[in-house]
């Protein structure tokens, strides 16, 4: 293995390979077509011939059904086009199910384990030719933000798939803090330039980059290139991201001590104020209690008011103590928000029925704003609990927080990072809530 990058390399397609069929030994076919392979070469094998050799050709009169079977998660959908995560953990169009270069009525599925396929070809070439090469199994991908397709590595053996340059320095002495090079994908793309998409040349060789080939990389595999879900900022398409944020919203009652990013709350408020409202009004106000002092002062005053109400109701001191303890969800949260309703712009009709309906319209709009806010918090990976308590002591809340007399508190929202994973929500079928006329 050389100590560093080469100043030049050569890449060529391998001619003379026969049509690959189920059960064929790819290593023997490649060795026969390119007997001059040398130590340090990288062999690039198109996934199609790997799939054919491994019997991944299946009868499928309906390609969509085959895509369904290979899909574990829909990332984005536009019309009939689906970007999905497939069984191999790859995010790609149509789960990698391919209806080209295969007989009519059949489709090609990706190799079940492309890393294992690469290892088998590497071992076979070592046995056949006595050479130590790297092997990549490649497939064609589209890419976010960029038009056009390119080949990437979906399986690897004996190749450094990622070159982590973090901790080094550039030519000007600046530290490299985020540079991890996708070496295997760069090799795959280089091979695609000579293989082409329709030339019938499914194998290419790169020579002159022996520094990326080593048995120490045997266990690394191309799976190391799949970004972990926690680090993937673009894990979902637009509509799917909205749907996930809505479905992942849960009432969270236990929080960690991790601080809440005020910017995240403000971004959630920005979503809240896109809710519909009557007469082109803006009936929402969000009071952010970011200091522990402001939260404690409000909650102490609310507790005292609540206790006074319970005593007037004739509740025992034991019963009162239990109720107060159950209300600690707000006190245990590291951040509180008090959403308020204002009815500026509402109409007065002088008719109790119509004036009541006018008020209800504004309350509904306030609820829509709070729902947007809760979904926005979920999108920021923050837990929340919307508690109604401020509505029962509005004057106390206005007095403690110094709010105008026409601001009506609409509960309080506890915000923080969930201390425990939320329970699975019971499945609710839409049909249970629909009446059609």
What is the torsion angle, in degrees rounded to the nearest 10, for the CA atoms of residue 127, residue 129, residue 134 and residue 136? -80
Q: Is residue 92 part of a domain?
A: no
- Does residue 102 form part of some domain? no
Last residue of a domain, one of 231, 259, 291: 231
212 and 242 in a single domain? The answer is no
Same domain for 284 and 221: no
Spatial separation of the C-alpha atoms in residues 47 and 45, rounded to whole Å:
6
Does residue 61 form part of some domain?
no
Residues 242, 199 within the same domain: no
32 and 170 assigned to the same domain:
yes
pLDDT at 382: 93
CB 166 within 8 A of CB 125: no
- 250 and 199 share a domain? no
Residues 6+ apart with CB under 8 A from 12: 194, 204, 205
CATH number, residue 154: 3.30.1330.100
* Largest distance between two CA atoms of the chain: 96
Do 176 and 42 share a structural domain? yes
Domain count, the chain: 2
106 is a domain residue:
no
What is the per-residue pLDDT for 103? 79
Residue after which a domain boundary falls, among 169, 199, 231: 231
Q: Is residue 133 part of a domain?
A: yes
pTM of the full structure: 0.66
How many whole angstroms separate alpha carbon 107 and alpha carbon 103? 8
Q: Let me know if residue 104 belongs to a domain.
A: no
Q: What's the pLDDT score for residue 425?
A: 79
> Please, which residues bridge with residue 108 across strands?
57, 98
**CATH assignment of the domain containing 377:** 3.40.109.10
Q: Residue 339: beta bridge partners? A: 286
Residues 210 and 276 in one domain: no
Q: Is residue 260 in some structural domain?
A: yes
Range of the domain at 337: 238-433
Asked if residue 157 and residue 18 are part of one domain, the reply reads: yes
Can you spell out the DSSP letters for 116-153?
A: HHHHHHHHHHHHHH----EEEEEEEEEETTEEEEEEEE
Do 111 and 50 meet the contact criterion of CB atoms below 8 Å apart? yes
Cβ count within 10 A of residue 259: 11
Last residue of a domain, one of 210, 231, 252: 231
pLDDT tens per residue across all 437 residues of the chain: 334 566 789 999 999 999 999 999 999 999 999 999 999 999 999 999 999 999 998 887 778 888 999 999 888 888 888 889 999 889 998 899 988 777 788 899 999 999 999 999 999 999 999 999 999 999 999 888 889 999 999 999 999 999 877 677 777 777 776 678 899 999 999 999 999 776 789 999 999 999 999 877 767 799 888 888 777 777 777 777 777 778 778 899 899 999 999 999 999 999 999 999 999 999 999 999 999 999 999 999 999 999 998 999 999 988 888 888 766 788 889 999 999 999 999 999 999 999 999 999 999 999 999 999 999 999 888 999 999 989 999 999 999 999 999 999 999 999 999 998 878 878 888 889 999 99
What's the confidence (pLDDT) of residue 2? 39
Same domain, 256 and 215: no
The verdict on 135 and 227 lying in the same domain is yes
Tokens of 217: 């990389």
Residue 291 within any structural domain of the chain = yes
The verdict on 378 and 291 lying in the same domain is yes
Do 318 and 416 sit in the same domain of this protein? Answer: yes
């Amino acid at each position: 293995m050389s100590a560093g990058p080469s100043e030049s390399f050569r890449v060529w397609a391998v001619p003379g390979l026969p049509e690959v069929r189920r059960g064929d030994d790819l290593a023997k076919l490649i060795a026969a077509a390119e007997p001059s392979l040398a130590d340090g070469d990288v062999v690039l094998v198109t996934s199609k011939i790997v799939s054919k050799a491994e019997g991944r050709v299946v009868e499928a009169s309906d390609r969509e059904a085959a895509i369904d079977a290979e899909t574990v998660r829909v990332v984005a959908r536009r019309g009939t086009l689906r970007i999905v995560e497939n069984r191999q953990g790859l995010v790609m169009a149509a789960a990698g199910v391919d209806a080209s270069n295969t007989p009519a009525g059949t489709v090609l599925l990706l190799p079940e384990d492309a890393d294992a396929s690469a290892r088998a070809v590497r071992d076979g070439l070592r046995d056949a030719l006595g050479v130590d090469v790297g092997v990549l199994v490649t497939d064609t991908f589209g890419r976010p933000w960029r038009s056009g397709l390119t080949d990437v590595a979906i399986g690897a053996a004996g190749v450094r798939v990622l070159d982590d340059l973090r901790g080094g320095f550039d030519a000007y002495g600046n530290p490299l803090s985020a540079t991890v090079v996708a070496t295997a994908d760069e090799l795959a793309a280089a091979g695609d330039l000579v293989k082409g998409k329709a030339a019938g040349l499914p194998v290419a060789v790169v020579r002159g980059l022996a520094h990326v080939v080593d048995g120490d990389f045997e266990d690394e595999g191309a799976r190391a290139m799949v970004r972990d879900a926690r680090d993937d900022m673009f894990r979902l398409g637009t509509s799917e991201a909205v749907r996930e944020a809505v479905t992942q919203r849960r009432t969270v009652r236990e929080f960690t001590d991790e601080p809440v990013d005020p910017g995240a709350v403000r971004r959630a408020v920005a979503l809240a104020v896109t809710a519909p409202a009557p007469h082109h009004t803006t009936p929402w106000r969000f009071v952010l209690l970011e200091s522990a002092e402001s939260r404690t002062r409000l909650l102490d005053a609310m507790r005292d008011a609540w206790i006074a109400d319970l005593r007037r109701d004739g509740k025992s001191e034991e019963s009162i103590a239990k109720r107060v303890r159950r209300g600690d969800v707000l006190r245990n949260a590291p951040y509180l928000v008090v959403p308020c309703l204002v009815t500026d712009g509402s109409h007065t009709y002088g008719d109790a029925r119509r004036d009541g309906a006018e008020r209800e319209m504004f309350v509904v709009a306030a609820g829509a704003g709070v729902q947007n806010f809760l979904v926005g918090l979920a999108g920021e990976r923050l837990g929340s609990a919307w508690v109604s308590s401020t509505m029962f002591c509005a004057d106390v809340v206005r007095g403690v927080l110094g709010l105008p007399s026409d601001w009506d508190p609409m509960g309080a929202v506890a915000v923080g990072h969930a201390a425990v994973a939320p329970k699975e929500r019971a499945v609710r079928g839409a049909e249970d809530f629909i009446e059609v006329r």
